Structure 1
């Protein structure tokens, strides 16, 4: 059996993981689609949890041609989301874990499937000094479930992927982290979600033996 090295870094997804922002994204997306005469159900929006805009748009356009160009669609949804960002709240317990991980000496960064404008606004809302940087969908050629973003984050930290833990709320993000070779923790908000192979699926991150994973347990 292959043993992992001690965890040295934690990579966080943002939307739905650090922030309870997915409902805000869904409402913005539904509103903009409907404003262009494109009917998108709430179920449609939920089915693309964790999916990046390019993949989401391509799927919708394949089903029925979108009446608005991709870039204009993204910008409009982003503008609508940012208008309401003051109402976005942290996910319960997430910020406390960021501080606890810092206390364990772990480095931390974010890997998001959202565009750079959303990521930067989210980071300003989070305002936690322990998060060193964030990789956005605009920083990579391929978004989640491709592992490119997670591999880029590990490279920027100078930490091998196998010494990183990734925390995700969606199957799409978990697949990306797992493909990058990271210890993958699913922390979903929706109990119906089906995950492929992950190392841990938890209702709360305190269920994970972090000192044991980091090799710091007395």
Structure 2
């Protein structure tokens, strides 16, 4: 008789930042479009959708192949990042996100942030959020392989001293969700737009608070 394995109780919540904790994607998109336009790239709506959750180096490589930039990746990314950091005080938290952080903290769950963004952006977002419950943050520079590779989430689990299956991930993008699933973690997709198509996830929700956390946390 084959028995289904008993799921491990969840002991930690790993959060994506942009678009999940912070409603920052419109700012990233607007700034990226403006900077690219200055170098002769007009980005379509489809271009913008395809960039969702993707690291800068992959975006730059795709656009550079289409029409070479007169500046290198680092100068291009620094220009976008500087404009975002200058406006980070205008970025609002995603509705309901900070209340969830507080609720998870009250349960005694460890929490950390795992981003595909660069350290400059991650640190700016962490300062803007000013939430004491996050143990640490992981940025793109902290790993050899960014999302959708599992490395960022596996690193977070190691830093917490937990097995991957003891971690739940909350993500708004298919790229991030692929990373979490590949890491063997409970993957919760919380998209901002209903048209976003995900691969296999454990839960696709309009609100992560609606899940049975009593059951998930054992």
Please give the range of the TM-score, normalised by the shorter of the 2 chains.
over 0.9
**Residue 175 of structure 2 corresponds to residue 169 of structure 1:** no
Contact 1:17 1:94 in 2 (8 A): yes
Residues 26 and 46 of structure 1 are in contact (CA less than 8 Å); yes or no, is this contact kept in structure 2? no
Q: CA deviation at 1:206?
A: 1.5
Q: How far apart are 1:39 and its partner, in Å? A: 1.8
Structure 1 residue 128, shift from structure 2 partner: 0.6
Alpha-carbon deviation of 1:100?
0.4
For residues 122 and 73 of structure 2, the distance between their equivalents in structure 1, rounded to whole angstroms, comes to 19
Q: Does 1:130 align with 2:133?
A: yes
What is residue 97 of structure 2 aligned with on the other side?
A: 94
Alignment of 1:83-162 (within 5 A): 83-162=86-165
State the distance in 2 between where 1:87 and 1:211 align: 35
Paired with 1:59 and 1:142, the residues of 2 have a C-alpha distance of 17
Per-residue CA deviation, residues 36-68 of structure 1 (Å, 9 max, x unaligned), is: 222222431222100011111111122222232
Q: Which residue of 2 aligns with 1:50?
A: 53
Q: Are residues 1:71 and 2:74 paired?
A: yes
Unmatched runs of 5 consecutive residues or more in structure 2: none
Matching of residues 6-25 of structure 1 within 5 Å: 6-25=9-28
Whole-angstrom CA distance in 1 between matches of 2:13 and 2:51: 25
The normalised TM-score by structure 1 is 0.96
Encode CA deviations 1:178-204: one digit per residue, 9 max, x unaligned.
000000000000111110010000001
What is the total number of aligned residue pairs between the two structures?
A: 215
Deviations 1:97-135 (A, max 9, x none): 001001111000010000000000000011110011100
Asked whether 1:181 is paired with 2:188, we answer no
The corresponding residue for 1:4 is: 7
CA RMSD in angstroms, aligned pairs only: 0.9
Which ranges in structure 1 are unaligned for 5 or more consecutive residues?
Answer: none
Residue 217 of structure 2 is aligned to residue 208 of structure 1? no
Cα separation, 2, equivalents of 1:64 and 1:95: 41
* In 1: Cα distance, 2:46 partner to 2:129 partner: 28
| Cα distance in structure 2, aligned partners of 1:49 and 1:32 | 17
